[in-house]
Amino acid sequence: MSLQQRHLTVLGATGTIGVNTLDVVARHPERFKVVALTAHCQVEKLFKQCLQFEPEYAVMLDPACAEELRLKLRQAGRGTQVLSGVTGLEEVSVLPQVDTVMAAIVGAAGLKPALAAARAGKRVLLANKETLVMSGALFMDAVRSHGAELLPIDSEHNAIFQSLPRNFSEDLAQNGVTRILLTASGGPFRNTPLHELENVTPQQACAHPNWVMGKKISVDSSTMMNKGLEVIEAHWLFNASAEQIEVVIHPQSVVHSMVEYADGSVLAQLGNPDMRTPIAYALGFPERIAAGVAPLDLFKIGRLDFEKPDFRRFPCLSLAFQALRHGGTAPAVLNAANEVAVAAFLEEKIPYRKIPQLIEEVLGEIPVCRAETVEDVLAADDAARRAAQRRLEAA
């Protein structure tokens, strides 16, 4: 039987998800053709990827970096066309020859190209949290109305997707589901005495015990804002209320999430903590393909532990649940304030415990509005960022 070759755009190719995606793709050259690669400003890294995968298009968000990449590719005798800016990202997300878009741009910058891909009816492999956190209703409406196919890449949501019935109808009760159990490692400070969190450094916050990730997402994992954003994502992906989602701390990061059914069954997806597993699952869906991940050795692991999260230790998780219950633009405000706060912490402008304080202050300041258009969402995002910056400057 001949296999259908999928034609890919990889948004955020130089980040952790992008690099792992290309690692899986390189293992199956007969199954995947890379049409476009994009990056923010890592010229040399994207240049090397272009040499290896020979895409038709490359996009750099920064125009000066795009010009530098264009020159390097020309000197190397390559015909890759180089575009720039958000319009370039959107253009390669809707190319007629592309059927699959890996949406792996970190932050709010990934919203517009992911939405464009959905509106173009593509298979969207969604690794960008902000797309659903900021504009969940808009994005899910686009997926449904334009016949797009949405496959989650976050290990937790991918695990839930695998543990739900294949024909899941977006109605948990109709499918016999009572709860979604999102697992969380607890990050590097799960057992740190609370008073010691006052002096946490960026280096300590970025030292995740199980996963290799970028700085921003590593800090989010340490505060459990990462899990809070995933709670909001799960609400949109699986049509689950806040009461149907429970966070479970599981320090080994072997059980990636679980689904509880009405008959008492709990289905879980287990695996080594390696993002190539959910990436390969989504790339090959509905088939399973090799990901280059070592088999899980249960005898070596020996035990699996689970515990409830402490909201005093992880106030960001509580704030995320609050934003989900408020709805409208509240999640967009939460996300924007968090991005500003984490950036300030990484630049050593604020202490670690100030991150949730700043987010809570901004949530209290910006009124919640309905999120009916992209403009509504971006206006809330901008207002939250300006409010957070004002508070930082006044401190």
pLDDT above 90 (res 108): no
Which stretches within the chain are classed as H helix?
16-26, 43-53, 63-75, 85-93, 111-119, 129-145, 155-163, 202-205, 215-223, 225-238, 276-284, 298-301, 315-326, 330-346, 354-365, 374-394
- The Cα–Cα gap between 103 and 89 comes to 10
pLDDT above 90 (res 167): no
Task: Reduce the DSSP state of residue 273 to 3 states and report it.
Answer: coil
Amino acid identity, position 368: V
Please, are residues 99 and 123 in contact by the beta-carbon 8 Å criterion? yes
For 173-198, write each residue's pLDDT tens digit.
999 999 999 999 999 999 999 999 99
pLDDT above 70 (res 337): yes
For the segment 126-139, the average pLDDT, to the nearest whole number, is: 92
Pairing status of strand 266-270 against strand 255-261: antiparallel
Amino acid identity, position 54: E
Percent residues over pLDDT 90 in the chain: 90
pLDDT above 80 (res 208): no
Report the pLDDT value the prediction gives residue 130, as an integer from 0 to 100.
Answer: 84
Q: Which CATH superfamily is domain 6-152 in?
A: NAD(P)-binding Rossmann-like Domain (3.40.50.720)
Report the pLDDT value the prediction gives residue 395, as an integer from 0 to 100.
Answer: 76
Report the pLDDT value the prediction gives residue 319, as an integer from 0 to 100.
Answer: 98
Please state the φ and ψ torsions of residue 6, each to the nearest 5 degrees: -95, 140
Question: pLDDT band at residue 214, thresholds of 50, 70 and 90?
Answer: confident
Report the pLDDT value the prediction gives residue 292, as an integer from 0 to 100.
Answer: 97
Please, are residues 104 and 15 in contact by the beta-carbon 8 Å criterion? yes
Task: Reduce the DSSP state of residue 242 to 3 states and report it.
Answer: helix
For 277-307, write each residue's pLDDT tens digit.
999 999 999 999 999 999 999 999 999 999 9
For 226-260, write each residue's pLDDT tens digit.
999 999 999 999 999 999 999 999 999 999 999 99
**Cα 125 to Cα 9, 52, 93, distances in angstroms:** 10, 22, 12
Report the pLDDT value the prediction gives residue 294, as an integer from 0 to 100.
Answer: 96
Report the pLDDT value the prediction gives residue 2, as an integer from 0 to 100.
Answer: 47
Q: How far does Cα 129 stand from its chain's mean position?
A: 4
For the segment 157-181, the average pLDDT, to the nearest whole number, is: 94
Question: What DSSP string runs through 64-103?
Answer: HHHHHHHHHHHHTT---EEEEHHHHHHHHHS-TT--EEEE
Amino acid identity, position 393: E
Position with higher pLDDT, 104 vs 213:
104
Please state the φ and ψ torsions of residue 179, each to the nearest 5 degrees: -150, 155
Question: What DSSP string runs through 133-149?
Answer: HHHHHHHHHHHHHTT-E
Q: Which residues contact 328 (CB under 8 A, 6 or more apart)?
A: 368, 369, 370, 371
For the segment 98-112, the average pLDDT, to the nearest whole number, is: 91
Question: pLDDT band at residue 3, thresholds of 50, 70 and 90?
Answer: low
What DSSP state is assigned to residue 308?
Answer: -
What DSSP state is assigned to residue 61?
Answer: S
pLDDT above 50 (res 207): yes
**Cα 289 to Cα 24, 82, 196, 211, 230, distances in angstroms:** 9, 31, 45, 22, 26
What mean pLDDT value characterizes the chain? 95
Report the pLDDT value the prediction gives residue 202, as an integer from 0 to 100.
Answer: 94
Report the pLDDT value the prediction gives residue 320, as an integer from 0 to 100.
Answer: 98
pLDDT above 90 (res 86): yes
Please enumerate, as own/partner, the contacts of 297-302 that have beta carbons within 8 Å and a separation of 24 or more. 301/252, 301/254
What predicted TM-score, i.e. pTM, was given to this entire model? 0.92
Question: pLDDT band at residue 1, thresholds of 50, 70 and 90?
Answer: very low
Report the pLDDT value the prediction gives residue 248, as an integer from 0 to 100.
Answer: 98
Report the pLDDT value the prediction gives residue 211, as an integer from 0 to 100.
Answer: 67
Q: From the CB of residue 49, how many other CB atoms can be counted at a distance below 10 Å?
A: 22
Q: Write out the two tokens for 206.
A: 């970025």
End-to-end CA distance of the chain: give it in Å, rounded.
Answer: 65
* Closest by CA position to 313, among listed 192, 184, 205, 203: 192
